[in-house]
């Protein structure tokens, strides 16, 4: 493992910038789109995807650029992180995400402390989060096997597209979900909706791990003969 302290700082800073990209582009997009929600979502998705690309590229060598408790949990299950480091990563991601939201509010002259009123609940949203997280885990897992050098681009492209093809606009990240509950803006989610999203994301992780197991190299090779 890389330098522990540097890794934790990277996770906190990276998650903070990720939330600045998500929430900030939502605020800016909504202001400039003048009621055109499709245009606002386009701005939101492109800014998030581009932000992820540069964050994963520059911080990946420092911490692995998880910025997501589920990605860190996967690393723990694969024995790439200890339980202690998993807890520290998750704490850094949660704190970083919240700070990112507050910084965004400061930049746009909004009340720093607020909570969202945007309900996101029901089977449609939950299934969207399952699909979004499943796809993210597959993108990372298969990228590690076949295109490791292109993981920043793969993840950025996947999240940008998943904004549009999932009913939930692809949160796929408990730390991001929690932080977005603290912003009553375009990207917000009501606190009461957070638990359902996190449970759906966790199910997506489990399904993703299962599919990656089915696609393990030995299994694929055996079926090709």
Task: Give the torsion through C-alpha atoms of 115, 118, 119, 125, to 10 deg.
Answer: -120
Percent of the chain with pLDDT over 90: 94
Per-residue pLDDT tens digits for 77-127: 999 999 999 999 999 999 999 999 999 999 999 999 999 999 999 999 999
Average pLDDT for 60-73: 98
**pLDDT exceeds cutoff 80 at 223:** no
Q: State whether residue 190 is helix, strand or coil.
A: coil
Per-residue pLDDT tens digits for 113-138: 999 999 999 999 999 999 999 999 99
Q: How many CA atoms lie within 13 A of 177 on its CB side?
A: 30
Q: How many CA atoms lie within 13 A of 168 on its CB side?
A: 28
**pLDDT exceeds cutoff 70 at 225:** no
Per-state percent for the chain, helix, strand, coil, to nearest 5: 75, 0, 25
pLDDT band at 8 (very low <50, low <70, confident <90, very high): very high
Average pLDDT for 10-35: 97
Query: Please, are residues 146 and 219 in contact by the beta-carbon 8 Å criterion?
Result: no
Average pLDDT for 30-44: 96
Confidence (pLDDT) at 217: 81
**pLDDT exceeds cutoff 90 at 46:** yes
**pLDDT exceeds cutoff 60 at 222:** no
Q: CATH classification of 4-216, choosing from 3.30.1280.10, 1.20.1080.10, 3.40.50.300, 2.40.30.170?
A: 1.20.1080.10
């Amino acid at each position: 493992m890389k330098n522990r302290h540097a890794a934790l700082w990277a996770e906190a800073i990276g998650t903070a910038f990720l939330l600045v990209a998500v929430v900030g582009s939502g605020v800016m997009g909504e202001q400039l789109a003048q009621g055109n929600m499709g245009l606002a979502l386009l701005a939101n998705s492109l800014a998030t995807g581009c932000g992820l690309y540069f964050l994963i590229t520059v911080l990946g060598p420092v911490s692995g650029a998880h910025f997501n408790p589920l990605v860190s949990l996967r690393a723990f299950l694969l024995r790439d992180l200890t339980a202690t480091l998993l807890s520290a990563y998750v704490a850094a991601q949660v704190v970083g995400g919240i700070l990112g939201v507050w910084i965004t509010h400061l930049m746009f002259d909004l009340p720093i402390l607020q909570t969202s009123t945007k309900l996101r609940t029901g089977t449609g949203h939950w299934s969207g989060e399952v699909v979004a997280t499943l796809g993210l885990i597959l993108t990372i897992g298969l990228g590690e096997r076949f295109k490791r050098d292109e993981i920043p681009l793969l993840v950025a492209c996947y999240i940008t597209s998943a904004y549009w093809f999932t009913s939930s606009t692809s949160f796929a990240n408990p730390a991001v979900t929690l932080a977005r509950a603290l912003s009553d803006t375009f990207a917000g989610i009501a606190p009461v909706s957070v638990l359902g999203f996190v449970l759906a994301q966790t199910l997506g992780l489990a399904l993703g791990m299962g599919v990656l197991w089915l696609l393990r190299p030995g299994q694929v090779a055996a079926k090709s003969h």
